[in-house]
Amino acid sequence: MEAAATPAPETQIVRGQMTGIITKPGGKWQLAVTPEGSQFQKNLWTKDEELVQEMTGRMSEWFDFVCGVSHWNMNDGTPVRSLWVNSVAAYGTIPEPPQPN
């Protein structure tokens, strides 16, 4: 009997300009990124202190952020979708993943 295939983790590419860093409790940060073509920023989560230090010196630069997607519910049951930075690359170097049909 074959084991059921584990679905690939959901990922999202965020292409945008690094605009800020927000310190959160518990050794976490959010990288504030304004995606290309948007006036609204996305706050991308990380626990990687080295990444935070690097991004501190690279404000206003553009990057491709490869993010894992986390789904969870607030105390009142409201669903939340959080983006966690897995890796960062030079702007425009990561192709968009194919979208499901």
Cα 59 from Cα 25, distance rounded (Å): 22
Confidence (pLDDT) at 98: 58
Cα 50 from Cα 65, distance rounded (Å): 15
Give the confidence band of 36 by pLDDT, cuts at 50, 70, 90.
confident
Q: Which two tokens stand for residue 47?
A: 């626990």
Q: Average of pLDDT values for 74-95?
A: 92
* Confidence check: pLDDT of 70 > 90: yes
What sign does the dihedral 74-80-86-88 (CA atoms) show?
Answer: negative
Confidence (pLDDT) at 95: 76
pTM for the model stands at: 0.82
**CATH assignment, 11-90:** 2.40.50.140
